[in-house]
Amino acid sequence: MGCKAILVFFQYGVMANFYWLLVEGLYLHILLVLIFSPNRHFTIYLLIGWGIPTIFIITWTVTRIILEDTGCWDTNEHGGPWWVIRIPILISIIVNFILFISIIRILLQKLRSPDVGGNDQSQYKRLAKSTLLLIPLFGVHYTVFALFPDRSSNNYKIIFELCLGSFQGLIVAVLYCFLNSEV
């Protein structure tokens, strides 16, 4: 029972990670789109970041108990329970990637406005820097293997996610906290 509880908590942490990346993307997109936003939507962000994963983890736990209650739940003989977690994560990755593209488009429009000074080279350099800063914040690297079947790309996926995914928190902390003079 303890092993299953730990696995449920682990899966909740993984899913919450993806949904908090989505909350970061939504927050930044709302900041760029809405100029005057007196309401910070904090409660909605909390519900998205913690609530949606809770709903799907409870659903996953119930489906595991009903359909595949074998061992420590670390194997997936039947695909049904696994997709209860996988589909919401894929949706969050896809929505976050769409938000990322939208934000890059907004930044490009702002850089092309006549109010922004500088030559074309400096503007594109600023756009490239902004894009590179947003990649770890949005978790864009997850889109690389998001739609591939697990069996076909498992070895490459593990190496890729270990190299990039494990350093994501460090990169975000360094770029947005330690190198930020406002923090």
Q: How far is 131 from 146, CA to CA, in rounded Å?
A: 20
The sign one gets for the Cα dihedral 80, 83, 88, 91 is negative
- 10-residue mean pLDDT profile of the chain (183 residues): values are 87 90 86 69 88 94 85 75 87 90 84 65 72 74 66 64 68 70 62
Do residues 142 and 18 lie in contact, with contact meaning Cβ atoms separated by under 8 Å?
A: yes
**pLDDT score, position 74:** 72
| Residue 19: DSSP 8-state | H
Residue 91 counted as domain residue: yes
For residue 183, tell me if it sits in a domain: no
Which token pair is 57?
A: 């983890």
- Tell me the DSSP string of 87-150: HHHHHHHHHHHHHHHHHHHHHHHHHHSTTS-S-HHHHHHHHHHHHHHHHHHHTGGGGTTSSS-H
What CATH number is associated with residue 99? 1.20.1070.10
Assign 3-state DSSP to the chain and report helix, strand, coil percentages, each to 5.
Answer: 80, 0, 20
In a domain, 24, yes or no: yes
Give the residue numbers spanning the domain of 17.
1-178
At 35 the pLDDT is 66
Split into its structural domains, the chain has a count of 1
pLDDT at residue 127, as a whole number: 73
Domain contains 82: yes
